[in-house]
Every structure is written in structure tokens, then in C-alpha cells.
Amino acid sequence: MFDYLTTEIRSFYSLQDLRVSVEEKIIQFKALVEEYSQWLGSLLRDLESTHSDEAWFKSVSALQRYAKKGRSRKEGEKKGGKEKALAEWVEVKGVLLNSSDQGEVEILFDAIEEINRKIERLTKVKEAVEDLERLALGKEIIYVAYVHDGVPEKIVLRHKKGGAESEKFSYVADFSMIKEPQT
């Protein structure tokens, strides 16, 4: 059902590998935003004939412009009115349920907003990795990343085993054995 873990530890053997992974995730998330935006647009066009005079539909139509520009719904609501849920939800054991058109519109907006926030965070990570690449930390480093919801949040720098750094900490011992005379 879900194609990736929400929290994971990944090792990258170069900053380039890390940067490429982040760039690929940005591309995936942008494609997902585009897909959800098209779904939302199609849904709103279908609902226009039956709900165009309703207040919720008018506010959603205005908010859709903000979603297309990568802005959050809250930014649009600050200009257009107070923040509130579009639909009435019923909670069942921690899961919210709704059977209205407004509910579907709301979850599409929520998903688009969340993915746009991830794209922003990934873009900042990409910029940080590019800065690290300019520092030329060396080829003997493994980058162990804590990835949460598809976004690397922490990176540990580890020296590769067998590299010059690991030789400083190697244990060297000589063993000698006394040979007993044969009788």
C-alpha cells in the first residue's frame, strides 16, 4: 500500500548519491502534487454545477489558486477569511470519516499542502548538501541519514572502514609462541 517507510536510516557513500536521492524525491513529490491538483480541479469542475452558489465552494475555488502556487491553504484563508474545516468529520477510533464532496476536497487540499511542505524541506536539504559538496569532505566518508517522511533530517558522517582514518584506530598485536621441544 505504502511505497516507502515513514522513518528510516539510509547510508550514502557520497554526497552526490545523497543529493541525487533528494532530487529524485523532489521530482516524485512534484509529480504527486500535480496529480492531486488535477484530481482537485476535475472534482471542483464537476461540483461547480451543483454547489457553485454555496459559500464553501466559493472559498475552495479561491483557495485552489494558492494550492497551485505551492502556498498553503492557511495563507489563502488569512486573506479570504478565517481558517476552518470545509466539512464535518466524525471520529471513529482515531480515524476521521466523512461522506461529503467537501470532505474529498479537504483531503486533497491537505495532501497538496503537506507534500508542498516536504518539497520545501527537501529543497533546503538539497541546498545544504550542495554546500557540503563544495567543502570537499573527502571520499572516505559514509553519510548515514535519518530520513523522516521522505526528508533527510539528520546526517552522521562516518569514516569508511579500511580508509586512512580507520588505520589510526586499528589494533595491532604480535603473538609469539614458545615451541616445546619434542621428546
36 is in which domain, residue-wise? Answer: 7-168
Number of domains in the chain: 1
54 within some domain: yes
Please state, rounded to an integer, the average pLDDT across all residues of the chain.
78
Q: Is residue 68 part of a domain?
A: yes
pLDDT digits (tens, 9 = 90+) for 131-142: 988 888 878 899
Mean pLDDT for 160-167 is 58
Q: Which residues contact 180 (CB under 8 A, 6 or more apart)?
A: none
Q: Give the Cβ contact number of residue 129 at 10 Å.
A: 23
Q: Say if 178 falls within a structural domain.
A: no
Does residue 31 lie within any of the structural domains? yes
Q: Does the residue 61 lie in any domain?
A: yes
Residue 174 maps to a domain: no
Considering the domain boundaries, does residue 70 fall inside one? yes
1 within some domain: no
